[in-house]
Amino acid sequence: MPIPGNLLSPTTETIDPNTSGWTSKLNCVIAKGTGGRTGGDGCLSVRSVAAGEMQARTVSSYPVTAGGVYYAFADAAGASTERIGIRWLNWRGVEVSITWSLTTMTASVGWHRVSVAGAAPVGATQAQVLLSSTEGGATVSHFWENVYFGAPLRTLGNLLPFNTESSEVDTSGWTAVVNATISRQVPVMSWSVTNYTAGGHTLSMTAVAAGNASILAVDRPTVTPGREYLAYAYMQPPTVASTAWIELRFYDANGNQIAATRSTLAPPTPATGMYRQRVSATAPAGAATCSLAAGLDGASAGQVLRLETIVVVAAPVLQAGTVIPYADASFEQGAAGWTVASGVATIARTAPWGASAYEGSYSLAITSSTASSSTIRSARFPVTEGVNWRAHAIAHPAAGTWATATIRLRWYDAADASLGASTGITYNLPGSSWYLLQSDQTAPAGATQASIEIVPTASTAGSVLHVDRVALWEVLPLTAVTADSSRGYITLTLRELPPDYTITVYRVGADGSRTLVRGTAGLIDRQPITSDLLIIEDHEAPMGVPIAYHVELYDAGGGRATRSSDTVQLTLDDINTAWLKDPGNPQRACKVVVQQAPDWQRPIEQTAVVVRGRRNKVVLSGKRQGREGDLAIWTRTDEERQALHLLLDSGNTLLWQAVPGMGVTDMYVAVAQVNENRVGQLAQEQWRAWTLPLVEQDMPATVGINGSGGRTCQDVVTEFATCADLLDVYATSEDLLLDRRR
């Protein structure tokens, strides 16, 4: 798949099937290499003519706006160091300047990332990507692939701006707090080929002298008191012993720090790679802004801590509806609110980094010194009496042997008095796999809080049990369906979907016929499940017909589970109206008044052959084609007229839906040249009469619902200072929603 937002063509990005997107600029020849990493077999081989620097550039130039920030990256491999640049050109194609990245600190024949970002200078209207390396002799090859140029790529939802997240432009997003200097470095880092937010530059903090050292992000994004936030960063600590950490800090309206939560990294020894460390906390009362700090405790003079992909976001929900905060559910910064209520067991966060985890990088380690039972209890979380609640945890015997583990709920009233524990469910724990522990219980009268209790029984002394991804949520229907006739679609909600499965969703008609339902990637047919909660808006459900949904879930081995929904029905209050919809852009749907339904024609390709001596011709026919005809409609307001223009402008295949009994079933159609006529002579008359020439089409199978992919208003606020800044970037509000830039 092409890199999202890439201005380069797929051929220029991946060098497949050829090198036509690239040309020599200095001291090199271009060829297609082998061993690419983006799915094809090709990469760009840049071979030196003589010793010294060689440069390759894109053949094409790409439009830019002066003052706008642009980003370029590539994966490189070779026997020398390299850098990447953006070459700015004016409208004549004359070079204005070049923005270069720093040169990599060392050479590597393994694939690694280089990148650069910068603002287009005054006078620049176009740009090219430059690839540069300095070779020690002639006929030395350097290899490149996975090249991107376009708008900055940042983590969706990040409260911190692009340059603070990545330091690709400079270090202005950070300030030294104590005993530290800040710079940028480009160590050799091999990232996943699809990790587009990871760049080449790292933010580097150097301890000036022995002791503690720290830095702080300059930005102060707004937060909401009572909301939980998650911060994380990739960290490369020094190889000499010291403690690396990140800290989420909250400030009041006057800029005074009122809370801080720290999370320390427990890296393998020696620590040579990048490790993603997380920290989460709930914004306290009075919090107005937040920031992120990072540092080393017990550092030696000259020690360096490198940071990459630095993010602050609203904390993710590990299970839809869970009331357990991220810190208590994932154990990324410690045991959080968990305690040993009884028994000899001890609890701690696992170490080193990544040694054992189901979610994130750590889990809770329960160690029993004897063959006995212990009770491990969480903090208390709000519940509602009389409601069924589900406790959930993932457990993994890591050492020794464990006989069983029981998961249950303990209830409390508003005065924090215990109302007793439920019976719970006991599970056997053979072997060393990850096991799901789950129990459903109804909250008793007077219950306002609950704790999860895990009661493991060790069979041998020194046994260790790891627990991760804990959740507690109100049990709701696994499948729910509602019809919104005013907006012409049905919402299907699927809960508690199993991860790592694939899913197929059918719309089932009254006659039992099945039709695949459309999702963001096209028709939902064996698509991977990425969340336990899936909400589908079915904008192609027919009007006036009872509809149900059939869901099939497949595991990796091909096993199948099914679900079915209740029956619902969409209605059209006025039989003289009909819907016109774009299946890939349901936000453009229009309800129009039908003036006259089409008189259909069904053309056919025929050739008539005259046979000498015979009375009748011989006619050779093709297959009769679909229906064609003119649909006459009215729009009643300027808003309806503008909406219809927006719907028709794309030229996409449309869906025409009318109520049953109007002589036509739902049809996918292509619309030819459109006539728009005034109904009366008055200039103020808003009614318009339209003639839409329709040609019947097949249902588009590969078209996905065009959505923002997780983009929110926060992403816009973080990237743009004022509404006026948006006008130069987006032509319409829909372009802003979908991040379609000029």
Q: Are residues 171 and 288 in the same domain?
A: yes
pLDDT single digits (tens) 419-466: 999 999 999 999 899 999 999 999 999 999 999 999 999 999 999 999
Q: Are residues 173 and 294 in the same domain?
A: yes
Asked if the structure places residue 3 within a domain, the reply is: no
Contacts of 291 (CB under 8 A, 6+ apart): 216, 217, 218, 219, 220, 221, 249, 251
Backbone angles phi, psi at 554, to 5 degrees: -120, 130
Of the candidates 150, 181, 207, which is a domain's last residue?
A: 150
> What does the alpha-carbon distance between residue 532 and residue 401 come to, in Å, rounded to a whole number?
31
Q: Are residues 615 and 490 in the same domain?
A: no
Contacts of 94 (CB under 8 A, 6+ apart): none
For the entire predicted model, the pTM comes to 0.87
Q: Are residues 428 and 495 in the same domain?
A: no
Of the candidates 564, 598, 631, which is a domain's last residue?
A: 564
Q: What angle is formed at CA 264 by the lines to CA 260 and CA 270, rounded to 5 degrees?
A: 160
Query: Quick one: pLDDT at residue 471?
Result: 97
Query: Quick one: pLDDT at residue 715?
Result: 75
- Dihedral angle sign, alpha carbons of residues 158, 161, 166, 171: negative
In angstroms, the Cα distances linking 371 to 343, 375, 460 are 11, 14, 5
Q: Are residues 171 and 280 in the same domain?
A: yes
Radius of gyration of the chain (CA): 31
Query: Quick one: pLDDT at residue 181?
Result: 98
Query: Quick one: pLDDT at residue 295?
Result: 97
> What does the alpha-carbon distance between residue 136 and residue 522 come to, in Å, rounded to a whole number?
51
Asked if the structure places residue 373 within a domain, the reply is: yes
Asked if the structure places residue 702 within a domain, the reply is: no
Give the residue ranges of the chain where pLDDT is below 50. Answer: none
CATH code of 515's domain:
2.60.40
Q: Are residues 465 and 496 in the same domain?
A: no
pLDDT single digits (tens) 345-385: 999 999 999 999 999 999 999 999 999 999 999 999 999 99
Asked if the structure places residue 572 within a domain, the reply is: no
pLDDT single digits (tens) 201-246: 999 999 999 999 999 999 999 999 999 999 999 999 998 788 999 9
Contacts of 590 (CB under 8 A, 6+ apart): 579, 580, 581, 640, 643, 644, 647
CATH code of 650's domain:
2.40.30.200
Q: Are residues 227 and 288 in the same domain?
A: yes
Of the candidates 247, 281, 314, which is a domain's last residue?
A: 314
Are 15 and 3 in contact by the 8 Å Cβ rule? The answer is: no
Are 738 and 706 in contact by the 8 Å Cβ rule? The answer is: yes
Asked if the structure places residue 522 within a domain, the reply is: yes
Q: Are residues 282 and 301 in the same domain?
A: yes
Q: Are residues 49 and 135 in the same domain?
A: yes
Q: Are residues 122 and 236 in the same domain?
A: no
CATH code of 261's domain:
2.60.120.260
Number of domains in the chain: 6
> What does the alpha-carbon distance between residue 693 and residue 291 come to, in Å, rounded to a whole number?
58
Asked if the structure places residue 321 within a domain, the reply is: no
Contacts of 195 (CB under 8 A, 6+ apart): none
First CA to last CA distance, the chain: 22
> What does the alpha-carbon distance between residue 105 and residue 81 come to, in Å, rounded to a whole number?
7
Q: Are residues 138 and 171 in the same domain?
A: no
Asked if the structure places residue 155 within a domain, the reply is: no
Asked if the structure places residue 729 within a domain, the reply is: yes
The secondary structure of 162-215 as a DSSP string is HHHHH-SS-STTEEEEESEEEEEE-------TT-TT--S-EEEEEESSSEEEEE
Find the domain containing 733 and state its range: 708-742
Backbone angles phi, psi at 586, to 5 degrees: -65, -20
Q: Are residues 166 and 273 in the same domain?
A: yes
Are 425 and 358 in contact by the 8 Å Cβ rule? The answer is: no
